[in-house]
Amino acid sequence: MTRHARHTWLAPLALGAVLLAVWALVAAFAGLPAFLLPGPLDVATRLVGMLGGPVVWPYVALTLAEALGGCALGAAVALPLAVLVHRSRWVGAAVTPFLGATQAIPAIALAPLLVLWVGYGLTAIMGLCSLMVFFPILISSVVGLTHVPREVVDAARIDGAGSWDLLRHVEAPLALPNVLAGLRNGFTLSVTGAVVGEMVMGGEGLGTLLTLQRDAVDTAGMVAVIVMLCVIAASAYTLLLVVERRSTIVADVRETPRG
């Protein structure tokens, strides 16, 4: 294992151990009741019990489906628009001010409108997730397309590449690391959107489970569900980060001049 790889794994493990130790000390000596601040052992016991039974897995599956569906929907709109913004100055000039304006609107404020337009449940939650992931995917993709080396594009045009061939064989592969970075950040936001959507617009995922545990004052259960959400988001984030780094290596090889 290389030194960089050791740092990649050991640094977050060390920070996690420190945070767990601080949490355990505060829970043990702060004098707070368990329903306000359960200790790590209580949460771990509750988490193992939940994961060992069949009840929690349908909640996990539905939240994952909502997050993945919303992220895919947002990407399906953001990626073609990124190409249009990159290729057309008119489209870029027309769209950019509105993109900035949309970011001033909290996603949670759109939830009641989505309920009115599409009703409660899966469709509305996926719509909320797609709105949350749209902007980071679009911006990252536009940045990636804009920073494709001009000399590579010119060489492809000299070789007779048309607009579609240029996008498919040159611009898209070289912009892929940025696109994946947008998807990486977007999916974590999509998980947040799914949970918030379930709590506001109804649903049967982990957000609903959090609401039930809140009403039952099951603080250890709530923290256990939050840990599940963190693991889901962190796993997807890490997976896409690995793919992004590998695509960066491929992009660097493509850009390297051949002697």
pLDDT-derived band at 1 (thresholds 50, 70, 90) equals: low
Q: Is the pLDDT of residue 11 over 60?
A: yes
Reported as a single tens digit per residue, the pLDDT across 92-115 is 778 777 776 666 677 677 777 888
Average pLDDT, the chain: 83
Q: Is the pLDDT of residue 29 over 90?
A: no
C-alpha 133 chain-centroid distance: 7
Q: Which of 195, 210, 223 is nearest to 64 (CA)?
A: 195
Least confident of 104-108, 144-148, 180-184: 104-108
Tell me the CB-side half-sphere exposure of residue 173, using CA atoms within 13 A.
15
Whole-number pLDDT of residue 22? 92
Amino acid residing at 167: L
Give the residue extent of every domain in the chain.
Answer: 57-87+107-255
Whole-number pLDDT of residue 150? 84
Task: Return d(Cα 169, Cα 163) in angstroms, integer.
Answer: 10
Task: Return d(Cα 113, Cα 26) in angstroms, integer.
Answer: 42
Whole-number pLDDT of residue 164? 83
pLDDT-derived band at 258 (thresholds 50, 70, 90) equals: very low
The DSSP code sequence of 27-66 is HHHS---TTTS--HHHHHHHHHHHHHSSSHHHHHHHHHHH
Whole-number pLDDT of residue 239? 85
Reported as a single tens digit per residue, the pLDDT across 159-179 is 777 788 888 888 888 888 889
pTM of the model: 0.81
Q: Which fold has domain 57-87+107-255?
A: MetI-like fold (1.10.3720)
Whole-number pLDDT of residue 5? 56
